[in-house]
Structure 1
Amino acid sequence: MGLAEEMAAMRGGSGHSGRLLGEFRRTALLVPLSEGDDGGLMSGRQGGVRWIYAFTDEEALARFAEARGAGAGAREWEYLSILGARLLDAVIPTVDGPTGVAVDVADEDGSMLFPPVVGIVPDACAVDAGPDRAEAV
């Protein structure tokens, strides 16, 4: 099963969080680049968390672009293809503040959030990793 199917299974109540996270880590996601001079990854903020936008395929990215008003004749969106594992383990630690990944956010019934919590992001970046976490493990 691919990531989109694992997300659908999870949303439908028959998924397994371990399989979902494993598939996320193995999947090459499309992450649009921001328009500004910083050349960073496109993200948004909600509830004190930065959410990096990632997509399972070009069609999902196109739906997101359309939802943001980028219709026919709009600029071409540049993106990078990156493994979910690299996004979680190498990119998120470089971002200031709590950061998670929002996958296929334009698809109301097919989106999934991977929040900055223990078991998803490195413990040092997790909002729920208390100072006692290292001793408890």
Structure 2
Amino acid sequence: MELTEEIAAIRDGSGDPARLVGEFRRAALLVPLTLPADESGESGGIAHSGLMSAVQGGIRWFYAFTDEAALARFARARGAGDREWEYVAILGARLVDAVVPMVGGPAGVAVNVADEDGSMFFPPVKGIVPDAYAVDLDADEVA
């Protein structure tokens, strides 16, 4: 199954969380690069490594999309659908295993956030991000 199918299965109550995380880790995701401040109006959505993100509830959420159509819906929702968006393709595993540790605080991944019925958040918890960066583990639990 592909990531979008696993997300749909989880959302309708028939999915398997472990299978969802596995598909997320194997998926090639499109992550938009930050916008210049003069175009976005909010200091460019600045994140680590030039990847677009937002901070909500003390967590930095990296935006990631399963395909160009999902990224285009996000661009339109931000009122910037008429411009070209640069992005990088990165495996979900690399995003959580290599990028999240660079943040210096809690970070997760928000997939297809402009899709009301197809979005999914991968929070900074055990089993998704490296244990040392999981907010649900005590320091004693991290090996």
| TM-score, length of structure 2 as denominator length | 0.89
Q: Structure 2 CA distance, aligned partners of 1:134 and 1:78? A: 37
Distance 1:45 1:134, change over 3 A: closer
Partner of residue 100, structure 2: 92
Cα-to-partner distance string for 1:98-129 (whole Å, 9 max, x where unaligned): 00000000001110000000111001111111
Partner of residue 39, structure 2: none
Q: Which moved more, 1:51-60 or 1:87-96?
A: 87-96
CA displacement at 1:134 relative to structure 2: 3.6
1:125 matched to 2:138: no
Partner of residue 6, structure 1: 6
1:53 matched to 2:63: yes
CA displacement at 1:132 relative to structure 2: 1.8
Opposite residue 50 of structure 2, the aligned amino acid is G
C-alpha RMSD of the superposition: 1.4
Q: Structure 2 CA distance, aligned partners of 1:134 and 1:86? A: 20
- Among 98, 113, 119, the alignment partner of 1:111 is 119
Which aligned segments of 4 or more residues in structure 1 are displaced greater than 6 angstroms?
Answer: none
Partner of residue 67, structure 1: 77
Opposite residue 61 of structure 1, the aligned amino acid is L
CA displacement at 1:96 relative to structure 2: 1.9
Q: Which moved more, 1:39-48 or 1:109-118?
A: 39-48
Partner of residue 18, structure 1: 18
Partner SS for 1:21? helix
Q: What residue ranges of structure 2 are gaps of 5+ in the alignment?
A: 37-43
Identity %: 70
Partner of residue 41, structure 2: none
Number of matched pairs: 133
CA displacement at 1:75 relative to structure 2: 2.5
Opposite residue 66 of structure 1, the aligned amino acid is R
- On the 8 A contact 2:29/2:67 being kept in 1, the answer is yes
Opposite residue 2 of structure 1, the aligned amino acid is E
Q: Which structure has greater helix proportion?
A: 2
Q: What residue ranges of structure 1 are gaps of 5+ in the alignment?
A: none
